Amino acid sequence: MAADILLTFITVVFALMVVFSKRTVVAAFSLLMTLLSIAMIYFQLGTVFLSAVQVLINAGAIAILFVFVMMLINLENFTNNREKNKTKLIIATFTVLVILGVLALVINNNIETLSLVNLADNSMKALFEKLFTTYYLPFEMATVLLLAAIVACVVIASHGKKAEEKQ
Amino acid sequence: MSIYYYLSIFLFCLGLLGTILKKDLISMLLCLELMMGGVALLFILFSKSTGFLDAQLMVVFTLIVSACEVAVGLSLIIALYRKKQTIYTDDIKIITE
Amino acid sequence: MYENYLALIPFFPLLAFLLNSFLIKNKLNNVQTGLITFMGLFTSFILVIMVALHVHQVGAIHVKLWEWMSYKQINFDIHFIMDELSVILCLMVTGIGSAIAFFSIGYMEHEEKVGKFFAFFALFAFSMLLLVVGENFLVLFMGWEGVGLSSYLLIGFWYEHTKNGDAAKKAFLANRVGDFGMVLGMIGYALIFNTVSFRDLQHPDLAIIAANKNLLIASSLLLVLGVAGKSAQIPLFIWLPDAMMGPTPVSALMHAATMVTAGIFLLCRVSNVIVHLSVVMDVIAWMGALTTLLAALIALTQTDIKKILAYSTVSQLGYMVMACGLGAFSTGMFHVFTHAFFKALLFLCAASVIYGCHHEQNIFKMGGLKKKMPVTYWTFLVGFLAIAGIPGFSGFFSKDEILAMAFTNPGNGIYLYTIGLISALLTAFYMMRMLVLVFIVPESHDVHDQHQHHVKEAKNHDHHEVHESPKVMTIPLIILAFCSFAAGYIGMPHIFGGHHYSRLIQNFLEKFVAPATGHTHLTEETEIIMMVVTTVLILCSMGAACYIYVVNDHVKMRDKLKAKFLKLWILSSNKFKVDELYEAIIIKPLYQVGNFLVNIVETHVVNGVVKLVTKSVDGSGHFLDDTKPERLEMGILYAVIGLTLVLTAVFNAFVF
Amino acid sequence: MLEAIIEILLKTAVILALPLGALPIIIHVERRGAAFIQKRLGPNRVGPLGLLQPLADVAKFMFKEEVHPSHVRPFFYTAAPVVALVVAILPLACIPIFAPIEIFGRSVYPEVFKSDMGIFFAFAASALGSYGILLAGWASNNKYSMLGAIRACAQMVSYELSLSTSLVAMIFLYGSNDIHVMVAEQTGYWFGFLPKWGFFLQPVAAMLFLIGIFAESNRLPFDLAEGESEIVAGYHIEYSSMKFALFFMAEYIHMIALSALFIIMFFGGYSLLPGMELIADRIPASLAILQALSLIIKVASMIWFFVWVRWSFPRFRYDQLMNLGWERLLPIGIANLIVTVLFVYFRNH
């Protein structure tokens, strides 16, 4: 139980830093830390492979992309002189709190059923055999999606460059 | 284990709030990533409590989707930056040139 | 062996149709296409003769080609039958058909696109054979429709002039109305008797007839509507006179000999059933009688040669339907048989007259053709004598038998007899009038000059001299003249024919058709008296016609007559205003309903609703759209709010 | 619970001691090797044969003046080297030195973090390597270091592909991603003399992994990050003394970890070298030590190979580098993957 609380605390702290930090690079690295702490939670929950995957993909690739792009655009030296729109802040926080309340209600009402743990054998082999049998179509769709994403990135990124060369 | 449920919805809502409050596009994308983390965690928790293991596969798929989304999102931001030299949402209101 | 001959009979006209229309795309000249159709019809004519002889000895033969579909226990299959009834009609269709095909080779020689004409001709023959040879309602109806279609195509052959197109459309629509009744009647019969095949209907189960009497009467009356449509009876006869717009051989073949008899053929097919329904029989009888009288009256004042013949066909058809109505189906069929010959003959003579006078159809403009077109004159004379009912010719035998049947019919026979007699006299009168005006009376000069003047403008080729039509047209005329003379003798009444020669065709027909029952016996003497009386009256009416039109100048006489019976004359000349009547009763109200729907319902109700919807959506759109520049984040916020609302609504069990 | 903690602490001590202890030797080997290749003597003044030279270097780094430039982003500037080192050491946690042995009635696993996902975790940790460099480059807030960091990061991210494809190919081949199973698969000989190493089974995957390692650890043909001649030592320009030493250590440990992975997959990990079975059969107790020894020898030879390659290949240009990574190695990797999958499929059926 102690480990649970500790990990949740860490994740919450870093999550808050992501949202409320002034500088975006700080936000990016705190996102990295949140993702790593989520990986730790996975590990603690027993799904070891997923934590490895989480570290490898989320922390290892996506977060890097963020920092990478931030450095490319050197976001830092932007003067952030935009005025803080008070009314928007209030409305947004209010509605988000309402949504949070609704979700909390959902969990509160069925916390008993949710928290009992019935561990099926979660050996990775059995689980991932399922990936290639019952979920074969989504798996193929995912590959197609990835391919499309790669092509999209190449096109979008290079498109801009071509325009530049023309000028 | 039950505290993680609250954590996941907290992450989700925080990400949502961040997406709304943030000024520039990249941090919005960041917060989106945060929401994704929250959802994935919820998947795992449900798979543990109901014993339905396939949910863990869903996490893999959400990861894939979030990876694609981030990749395309960031390349769009770069292209946008090249064109408009700014990625603050206030400046990108006008769609036409 | 004879079964495959039977199967092949309709095949040859179909082959001719296909050859003419698809395979040989106007590479052939007119004569070759004509020959193809003629050969098609002639071969099937020979087949019909062979099968007919076989049927004469053995009785009906039938062949099933293939199963089409079956519904509950009714199975619809393409099934041909050659029984006594269809033998007669097949002979007529193929025989007269090939004669007319031969004739129209000559007649249509100078037209363009004649390949198309002969293709439709063959199509008509094929569908008519289907109709006749069909063993069940299905095949009959296929033929029925095919015939309707080809009549539309042939009437509208010269579709360049809108009048021909309209006439074709009118024919088709009238037929459609009839077909509508026909289909419902067929369905009624199928449901009641659980079969569509005529062999079952030949010996219907009386219990069934008694059980659903009303439904049976209703469907039979609907069938009668179909008959009226096809055989141009009272309600739906308007299309036949207009059908004269087509080429004359077409009117000869279809609107005289074969197609119009389809209605009577249908009545004979279901005769065994409707015989037990006295109501239906009376309706048929009275319909026939009234049509005969009306058509004869109108024919009196017509000036177009083909219109007169058309109305005379309508009145003769009225005779046949009246015969069927009286229960004497075989007599009706006998009259169909004889009428086909002399009416086809008359039409072909008219055709050769028109051909000779360079497409002039008004009888007052013709005159004195006796010397110029002798062969046509003599054949026309034979036809005239037959239709008028002069003893010795075919018309006399069949028409008098009908009148005798009417006379002996217990119920309202006597009234029908008088109407029949009057219309016979009128027939004789207007036929004489036509004969005299076209052939005997010398051409009047003023009319003649006008005629010449008209000819010079229209045609600048060869001299306007009227000449006899070529050999290819006169040979069929002679053949048909002989047939129309001889056809009567196979159905002679007892008096002349003695024991085993009399009523040959009627007895042969009665093997299938319901025999005439319930007629009081006619003694020999009364029969002879009746014959003498009718012939004397006919001769008087012919004399009257001669006196009026030949003895003194017909122009002065016409004016005097017109003055005396002015109102009657006007009424009859413009066809008793039947078209205008239909116009007023059916067509105008339809237009009014249409206008009402368009002006009131359309503009206010439908558009109104549509405007309402668009206005509301547009309005609500504006309501939500806050004028400030659209903020990206607020968009996301609204989306998420919406999502949560939906989800809470859907999963409220979990939430509360 | 207590024994577990003690056991983990003991193991981490061993795991840390080995590379850190070996570090000075590696540096020395590096410098002497470079000299040897360039036909010069190299450091042999300090102590016998110059063996004490590394100690001298370490002392140098420690006592150098700690320069802390003002224009630097303070927190991230100091955090970068620490992150780099930590991330470099993490993969070592799951690399076993010898087969699990029976002591005091319990079977003890050599690696600190025992899981059947061992190779994955090592690989994931090495993927985090680029953070150290990115942080350093960005924190030191000058153009050259930023450029160096971006290049290094791009290179590491793209060469992860070739690493992962060959890794997956090998996992297919061995049928599981537990390192012990992999090593068990590779013990024994083909035709009597050839050891059953992954290298002979899958030379293509081996080459890919090797190139990947060089790129990941920014070693020479790919050391665009600290290309001295172009961008003046890349991302760790602003770093002086100890922080620079940390970066240095991180790089070397990362190199050791990656070569250890390479050895596990392609050279049989801790499986005994050809001559060693004879000794092992005679003294069963010594099996673990011999296995550890063979692993260390293999890693040492790998390090020497690094040094050798460093001083014999010219540096790649950036576009050549990227071209090689994406348009050459990736297709080969995927093709190899497909071939192995088919091979494994037919082998099993």
For residue range D28-61, list pLDDT tens digits in order.
888 888 888 888 888 878 778 778 888 888 888 8
Residue of A nearest to D76 (CA): A26
Chains with 3 or more CB pairs under 8 A to chain B: A, C
Residues C511 and C648 grouped into a single domain: no
The reply to whether residue A117 touches residue B56, judged by beta carbons under 8 angstroms, is no
User: Does residue C521 sit in the same domain as residue C537?
Assistant: yes
Report the SS3 class of residue C134: strand
Contacts of residue D343, defined as CB under 8 A and 6 or more positions apart, other chains included, come to D173
Chains C, A in contact, 3 or more Cβ pairs below 8 Å: yes
- Record: contact A105-C637, CB cut-off 8 A: no
CATH class of the region B2-84:
mainly alpha
- Asked whether the beta carbons of residue C633 and residue B89 sit closer than 8 angstroms, the reply is yes
Mean pLDDT, chain D, whole residue set: 85
Distance from CA of C652 to the nearest CA of B (A): 18
Average pLDDT over residues A137-145: 91
Nearest to B41 among A38, A57, A138 (CB): A38
Instruction: Locate the chain A residue with the closest alpha carbon to D124.
Output: A56
Would residue C31 count as lying in a domain?
Answer: no
Interface contact flag, A67 D134, Cβ < 8 Å: yes
C531: CB partners within 8 A, 6+ apart: C391, C400
Q: Distance between CA atoms of C162 and C159, rounded to whole angstroms?
A: 6
Residue in C closest to B23 by C-alpha: C633
pLDDT at D102 over 50: yes
Give the Cα separation of D259 and D303 in Å (integer): 8
Classify residue C133: in a domain, yes or no.
Answer: no
Mean pLDDT estimate for chain B: 86
Nearest to C393, CA basis, from C428, C368, C429: C428
- Same domain, yes or no: A44 and A3: yes
CA closest to C634 among chain B residues:
B20
User: How is residue A86 written in tokens?
Assistant: 């008070």
Q: Is C79 helix (H, G, I), strand (E, B) or coil?
A: strand
Q: What torsion, rounded to 10 degrees, do the Cα atoms D263, D265, D266, D269 define?
A: 50
For residue C644, give the chain A residue with the closest CA. A99
Asked if residue A110 and residue A127 are part of one domain, the reply reads no
- Cα(C336)–Cα(C262) distance, rounded to whole angstroms? 10
**Are the C-beta atoms of A16 and B17 separated by less than 8 Å?**
no
Q: Name which of A103, C92, C169, D329 is nearest B14 in CA terms.
A: A103
Q: What residue of A is the nearest CA neighbor of B33?
A: A31
Residues C483 and C611 in one domain: no
Contact C332, C317 (CB under 8 A): no
Mark yes or no for CB contact B89/C629 under 8 Å: no
Number of domains composing chain C: 3
Provide the shortest C-alpha distance from residue C637 to chain A (in Å): 7
Parallel, antiparallel, or unpaired for β D189-190 and D194-195?
antiparallel
Residues from chain C contacting residue B92 (CB–CB below 8 Å): 632
φ/ψ region of D175 (left if φ > 0, alpha if ψ in -120 to 50, else beta) reads left
> What is the C-alpha to C-alpha distance for residues C45 and C39, in angstroms, rounded to an integer?
10
Chain C environment of B28 (Cβ under 8 Å): 633
Same domain (yes/no): A111, A167 = no
Quote the CA–CA distance of D220 and D224 in Å, as a whole number.
8
Shared domain for C479 and C560, answered yes or no, is yes
Mean pLDDT of all residues in B56-68? 90
Residue D208 pLDDT level (bands cut at 50, 70, 90)? very high
Pair (C535, C609) in one structural domain: no
A17 contacts in chain B (CB < 8 Å) = none
Q: How many CB pairs under 8 A join A and C?
A: 25
Beta carbon pairs, B and C, within 8 Å: 19
| Residues in chain D within 8 Å Cβ distance of A62 | none
Instruction: Name the residue range of residue D203's domain.
Output: 2-348
Q: Is residue C602 part of a domain?
A: yes
Number of domain units in chain A: 3
Q: Do residue A131 and residue B57 have CB atoms under 8 angstroms apart?
A: yes
**pLDDT for res B33:** 93
* Residues of chain B positioned with their CB less than 8 A from the CB of C634: 20
Inter-chain contacts counted by CB atoms under 8 A, chains A and B? 218
Chains C and B touch (3+ CB pairs under 8 A): yes
Domain that holds residue A71: 1-77
Contact flag for D and C (3+ C-beta pairs < 8 Å): no
Cβ distance B30 to A107 less than 8 Å, yes or no, reads no
Hey, what amino acid is at C577?
Answer: K
Would you call B19 and C632 a contact, using CB atoms and an 8 Å cutoff? Answer: no
Residues A67 and A4 placed together within one structural domain of the fold: yes
Amino acid at D33: G
Q: Are residues C362 and C499 in the same domain?
A: yes
Higher local confidence (pLDDT), A38 or C72 = A38
Q: Which of C633, C634, C655 sits opposite A106 (nearest CB)?
A: C655
Termini Cα distance of chain D = 46
- H or E element in which residue C397 lies: helix C394-408
Cβ-proximal residues to C587 (8 Å cutoff; 6+ apart), any chain: none
Overall pTM surpassing 0.95 (yes/no): no
The 3-state DSSP class for residue C316 equals: helix
Q: Tell me whether strands D106-108 and D189-190 are parallel, antiparallel or unpaired.
A: unpaired
- The answer to whether the CB atoms of B21 and C633 lie below 8 A apart is yes
Helices (H) and strands (E) in chain C, counts: 33, 2
Do A71 and D138 count as a contact with CB atoms less than 8 A apart? yes
Compute the nearest-CA separation of D201 from chain A (Å). 24
Coil, helix or strand for C364? coil
Q: Write the DSSP string, B28-96.
A: HHHHHHHHHHHHHHHHHHHHHHH--THHHHHHHHHHHHHHHHHHHHHHHHHHHHHHHS--BTTTT----
Encode pLDDT of D250-266 as tens digits: 989 999 999 999 999 89
CA distances from D16 to C637, D3, D10 (A): 51, 20, 10
Q: Which candidate in A84, A106, A114 is best for mutational testing of the C interface (most C CBs within 10 A)?
A: A106
Give C576's contacts (C-beta < 8 A, 6+ positions apart).
Answer: C294, C297, C298
- What single-letter DSSP state applies at residue C517? -
What does the pLDDT average to over B70-94? 82
The answer to whether D146 faces chain A, any CB pair under 8 Å, is: yes
Q: What pLDDT was estimated at residue D65?
A: 83
CA D249, distance to chain mean position in Å, is 12
Of C359, A154, C426, which is closest to residue B76 (Cα–Cα)? A154
Letter string b/e over residues A125-137, b meaning 16 or more CB atoms within 10 A of that residue's CB: eebeeebeeebee
Inter-residue contact C241 to C260 (CB < 8 Å) = no
Distance CA D152, CA D311 (A): 20
Instruction: Give A99's strand partners.
Output: none
Shortest Cα distance, chain A CAs vs residue C625, angstroms: 16
Q: Is residue C50 part of a domain?
A: no
Q: What is the mean pLDDT of residues D127-143?
A: 85
pLDDT 10s digits, C103-162: 888 888 877 778 888 889 999 999 999 999 988 888 999 999 999 899 898 888 888 888
CA dist D251 and D246 (Å) reads 9
Q: What is the pLDDT of residue C623?
A: 64
Kindly list the distances between the CA atom of residue C92 and the CA atoms of B46, B53, C97, C262, in Å, as whole numbers in the listed order: 89, 86, 7, 12
Residue A35: what pLDDT?
Answer: 93
Angle formed at CA C652 by CA C651 and CA C656, multiple of 5 degrees: 135
Q: Do D135 and A52 touch (CB under 8 A)?
A: no
Q: Is chain D touching chain B, with at least 3 CB–CB pairs below 8 Å?
A: no
Question: Would C185 be classed as within a structural domain?
Answer: no
Q: Which residue of B has its CA nearest to C632?
A: B89
Q: Partners for D (CB, 8 Å, 3+ pairs)?
A: A
Is the CB of A19 less than 8 angstroms away from the CB of B34?
Answer: yes
Identify which of A18, A82, A127 has the shortest CB distance to residue B90. A82
Highest mean pLDDT among D55-59, D296-300, D316-320: D296-300
Percent of chain D at pLDDT exceeding 90 = 15
d(CA C85, CA C199): 12
The pLDDT, as a whole number, for residue A142 is 92
Where is C353: in which H helix or E strand? helix C329-356
CA dihedral C193, C195, C198, C204 (to 10 degrees): -30
Nearest to B40 by CA among B54, B56, B59: B59
For chains A and B, tell me whether 3 or more CB atom pairs sit within 8 A of each other.
Answer: yes
The residues of chain C scoring below 50 in pLDDT are 445-451, 455-463
pLDDT exceeds 90 at position D339? yes
Neighboring chain B residues of C640 at a CB cutoff of 8 Å:
16
What's the total number of domains in chain D? Answer: 1
C465 and C366, same structural domain? yes
Highest averaged pLDDT of the listed ranges A14-18, C28-32, C529-533, D76-80? A14-18
Question: A59 and A9: one domain?
Answer: yes
- D330 and chain A: CB distance < 8 Å anywhere? no
Do C485 and C580 sit in the same domain of this protein?
no
User: What's A5's domain CATH number?
Assistant: 1.20.120.1200
Nearest to C335 by CA among C288, C397, C391, C416: C397
A contacts of B55 (beta carbons < 8 Å): none
Burial of C56 from C-beta contacts in 10 A (0-12 / 13-18 / 19+): exposed
DSSP states along C530-563: HHHHHHHHHHHHHHHHHIIIIIS-HHHHHHHHHH
Residue C631: its chain B contacts at CB < 8 A? 89, 93
Token code pair at residue C67: 């199963």
CB contact under 8 Å between C633 and B92, yes or no, is no
- In this structure, the answer to whether residues C383 and C418 fall within a common structural domain is yes
Q: What SS3 class is residue C292?
A: helix
Using CA atoms of C117, C122, C124, C129 in order, give the dihedral in degrees to the nearest 10: 170
Interface check for D10 against chain A (CB to CB < 8 A): the answer is no
- What residue ranges do the domains of chain B occupy? 2-84
Nearest CA in chain B to C640: B16
* A166/A124 same-domain check: yes
3-state secondary structure chain D: CHHHHHHHHHHHHHHHHHHHHHHHHHHHHHHHHHHHHCCCCCCCCCCHHHCCHHHHHHHHHHHCCCCCCCCCCHHHHHHHHHHHHHHHHHHHHHCCCCCCEEECCEEECCCCCCCCCHHHHHHHHHHCHHHHHHHHHHHCCCHHHHHHHHHHHHHHHHHHHHHHHHHHHHHHHHCCCCHHHHHHHHCCEECCCEECCHHHHCHHHHHHHHHHHHHHCCCHHHCCCCCHHHHCCHHHCCCCHHHHHHHHHHHHHHHHHHHHHHHHHHCCCCCCCCCHHHHHHHCHHHHHHHHHHHHHHHHHHHHHHHHHHHCCCCCCCHHHHHHHHHHHHHHHHHHHHHHHHHHHHHHHC
Give the residue from D65, D228, D234 showing the smallest Cα distance to D138.
D234
Of C629, C630, C637, the CB nearest to B20: C637
Of C637, C648, C654, the CB nearest to A95: C637
**Chain B residues with CB inside 8 Å of A103's CB?**
9, 12-13
Close Cβ partners of C86 (under 8 Å, ≥ 6 residues apart): C132, C133
Question: In terms of residue numbers, what domain contains C610?
Answer: 574-620
Alpha helices (H) along chain A: 2-20, 24-45, 48-53, 64-73, 86-109, 111-115, 124-133, 136-166
Identity of the residue in B22, B24, B44 whose CB atom sits nearest the CB atom of A45: B44
Query: In chain B, whose CA is at the least distance from the CA of C628?
Result: B93
pLDDT tens digits, C178-215: 899 999 999 998 888 888 888 888 888 888 888 888 89
Angle at C435 between CA C429 and CA C437, to 5 degrees: 100
CB A6 within 8 A of CB A41: no
Touching chains, C (3+ CB pairs < 8 A): A, B
